[in-house]
Structure 1
Amino acid sequence: MRDMKADGVTLGIIGAGAMGSGIAQVAATGGIRVLIHDARAGAAEKACAAIAARLTKRAEAGKMDRAEAEAAIARLGAAEGMADMAPCDVVIEAVIEDLAVKRAVFAELEGVVAPDAILASNTSSLPIGAIAASSTHRGRIAGMHFFNPVPVMKLVEVIRAPETTDDVHAALMILAERMGRTPVAVRDTPGFLVNFGGRAYPTEALAILHERVAEPAAIDAVMRDGFGFRMGPFELMDLTGIDVNYPVTRFVHESAFGDPRLRSTPAHRYLFETGSLGRKSGRGFFAYDADGKALAHPDSGSTAEPAAAVVLDGDDPVLRDLVLASGATILDADDGVAPVLAAPLGEDATAHAVRRGLDARRLVCLDTVPDTSVRVTLMTAPGADPAIRDSVIARFAMARKVTAIQDSPGFIAQRIVAMVANLGCEMAQTGLAAPEDIDLAMRLGLNYPKGPLELADALGPDRVLEILTRLQALTGDDRYRPSQWLRRRAALGRSARMAA
């Protein structure tokens, strides 16, 4: 096996699509000779030309040294047939997500490359062990999952199959670094790390939509403004395409024997079946105008007279500061008329009113868990006085954006963030990767502001546990069952990132 740090390493790539071309580009700029093969006539040559054009453009824009660009272009070559892969030290297949096709590619490669050449799959979800099962030299087979667009996305998941040798795994970690990527070691499980861990963010948003708590634009706005996500879950699904995220969600859910934590909703399936695929089709969770801009309005407004005085239930300091900053007066005692404001954790307005013996008609609950400097989220119980609600909306809308939702245990942000954190804890519990790699992968692979275990620590494992426990009790749904990893660390007062 060749030293991946040495000069003269040759990489073969099977498949000249977006992924294969992207891998070829970062390999060539990393000083590696690249041979691209595609079963489609002329596809490999076109891929080489497209990569050369991109690198030339970068050099002309001053984003890359011209000599380095020319050297990288010179390292690219098109292979007419599979037999041309013979001199390759590593071959990465990047063909369609079909187990039989991938097995056939590996079987053909085994008859061509040297016995110590490494074979890797760029599959996003198929088990590496299943791909390797029909091969003769299974110890040299592993997964090397890149993310699209490869030149931009730094993460690479390096996956060990049951028989992958330590040397092969170590070589691929080095190869990824040489390509300028950040590798993380991941266990061979359905969806690997990112596609598995990335289910919580969209599926909990889908559950909230299914319950008619709020519309997609409102849910997106809450997650962007409240927790700093670059994209809300629905705009993210529309961007990647429902034809991509729905099949992956279904596959991961089925592979996990129907774990309710990974469950999607009928609306998700309906968009897939009707061809409403997101931006690419002009309609998904949102409709898009001719410029590709989503036609959506996330904010709640009110023409009511702003509430002048309110009663606070409890002593939440964030809620108190919000009210004082809004200019409203806080009454020392309930006058039986003013709005009653509360900040429940994991409860809906109904449960909070009953537990605390409050007048549900005047109760308005606000979520103080997310950042409230830009947007506040509020909800009321069924039968609440709309005039009371509207007066509170008007009060806070004077200085902030407001999202008014239907009654929901955990509002929007608490639910979604708790589910993201909980699934991250479960990934750590089942050993998909080391805690620090779970966080790193989710930040790099999905652009999360924090990794799931970091999110758990930011909220406090005890608060995340409380949110989930109340959600499970109020809904009766094991979707919200807390991970043992989370429960133990919350009970001990330890960090969610603490290794076992």
Structure 2
Amino acid sequence: MDHIKKVGVIGSGTMGAGITQLMVQNGCATVLFDIDKETVDKAKESIGSRLERLVEKKKISTEEMILAKELLQTTTDMNMFKDCQLVIEAAPEKIEIKRSIFQQLEKICAKDTVLTTNTSSLSITEISGQIENPRRVAGYHFFNPAPIMPLVEVVQGLQTAPETIEVLVQFAEGLNKKPVVCKDTPGFIVNRVARPFYNEALRIMNDQVASVEQVDRIMKSAGNFKMGPFELQDLIGIDVNFATTQSVHASFYGESRFRPHYYQERMVQSGSLGRKTKGGFYNYD
């Protein structure tokens, strides 16, 4: 933890912005990168607004908010990562995008910079397969919303060095998170366990056994979940959830228990992606 003074985050979407907020709130100078200036500026504004709301709720002081804002830097130039000790990639869940990013990072960053991906289901071993030193690459999977959710999956690829995992575990603990070390298997722990949670809910709804509202209410009251499967899909993004299910299903060579549901695909095709589009399984107008 002590030697990580500056962190780079790639991707200013929901997860990238959440991870960035977590870093600056914990006193880490953070560079947030995205390919488009307007997008990254919007993310900076959103992070600032969330920090201001935390002051209103008396969760942090005004001084802490000011410091956190000062620690945040945005860029469209990946060369700004050259003095970071840790980089967390939170780009779209496409293997070719991630592999390209890590090839660029290897040329830009110092030899001892730890390079991580926030992927929820793609193989760490495959992402790092074409770089010279895969020993410094690991999975660092935060959960949405990153500033609040305590769990972090620290994923060890086939060639990830034990000392890389050790650094990431210590750093996560310094952020007051609960790191869990796991092997590089499809979906890791949480997303592998969660597939039936979403898929069976979709089947129950589609078979007209129960409505969306009923399933969510039952899972919360009887199952003691904080959110039902449909509420959670709307929060995560139905497109993100569907992509993860596709990835886990493919990685297990088409095992039937992980098979995606066509209704979820129809939601994605229609552009009804949940909270971010003001409508998914529920309406958010």
Q: TM-score, normalised on structure 2?
A: 0.88
By how many angstroms is 1:132 displaced? 0.1
By how many angstroms is 1:72 displaced? 2.3
Task: Indicate yes or no: 2:14 matched with 1:18.
Answer: yes
Kept after mapping to 1: 8 A contact 2:93/2:243 = no
Task: Indicate yes or no: 2:135 matched with 1:109.
Answer: no
Map 1:303-382 to 2 at 5 A: none
Q: Which residue of 2 aligns with 1:64?
A: 60
By how many angstroms is 1:46 displaced? 4.5
Task: Indicate yes or no: 2:2 matched with 1:5.
Answer: yes
Kept after mapping to 2: 8 A contact 1:200/1:262 = yes
By how many angstroms is 1:134 displaced? 0.6
Task: Indicate yes or no: 2:259 matched with 1:263.
Answer: yes
Q: Which residue of 1 aligns with 2:122?
A: 126
Q: Which residue of 1 aligns with 2:92?
A: 96
Which amino acid in the other structure matches residue 143 of structure 2? F
Map 1:421-440 to 2 at 5 A: none
Q: Which residue of 1 aligns with 2:74?
A: 78
1:137 corresponds, among 133, 136, 143, to 133
Partners of 1:48 and 1:276 in 2: CA distance: 25
Which 5+ residue runs of structure 1 have no aligned equivalent?
293-500
Q: Which residue of 2 aligns with 1:179?
A: 175
Kept after mapping to 2: 8 A contact 1:124/1:191 = yes
Q: CA RMSD in A?
A: 2.5
Q: Which residue of 2 aligns with 1:237?
A: 233
**How many residue pairs were aligned?**
285
Partners of 2:202 and 2:114 in 1: CA distance: 41
Once the two structures are superposed, what CA deviation does each residue of 1:160-190 show, in whole Å capped at 9, x if it has no partner? Answer: 1111111111101111122232211121122
Kept after mapping to 2: 8 A contact 1:26/1:180 = no
Once the two structures are superposed, what CA deviation does each residue of 1:424-452 show, in whole Å capped at 9, x if it has no partner? Answer: xxxxxxxxxxxxxxxxxxxxxxxxxxxxx
What is the SS of the residue equivalent to 2:108?
coil
Kept after mapping to 2: 8 A contact 1:86/1:114 = yes
Fraction of identical pairs, as percent? 38
* CA gap 1:90/1:205 in 2 versus in 1, 3 angstroms: same
By how many angstroms is 1:247 displaced? 2.6
Which 5+ residue runs of structure 2 have no aligned equivalent?
none
* CA gap 1:282/1:146 in 2 versus in 1, 3 angstroms: closer
Which amino acid in the other structure matches residue 25 of structure 1? Q
Kept after mapping to 2: 8 A contact 1:252/1:262 = yes
Partners of 2:50 and 2:239 in 1: CA distance: 28
Task: Indicate yes or no: 2:187 matched with 1:191.
Answer: yes
By how many angstroms is 1:211 displaced? 4.1
Once the two structures are superposed, what CA deviation does each residue of 1:233-271 show, in whole Å capped at 9, x if it has no partner? Answer: 334334444323223222212221222222344433344
Partners of 1:147 and 1:182 in 2: CA distance: 11
What is the SS of the residue equivalent to 1:198?
helix
Kept after mapping to 2: 8 A contact 1:79/1:85 = no
Partners of 2:94 and 2:76 in 1: CA distance: 23
* CA gap 1:97/1:250 in 2 versus in 1, 3 angstroms: closer
Once the two structures are superposed, what CA deviation does each residue of 1:387-416 show, in whole Å capped at 9, x if it has no partner? Answer: xxxxxxxxxxxxxxxxxxxxxxxxxxxxxx
What is the SS of the residue equivalent to 1:251?
helix
Kept after mapping to 2: 8 A contact 1:207/1:264 = no
Compare CA radii of gyration and give the structure with the larger one: 1
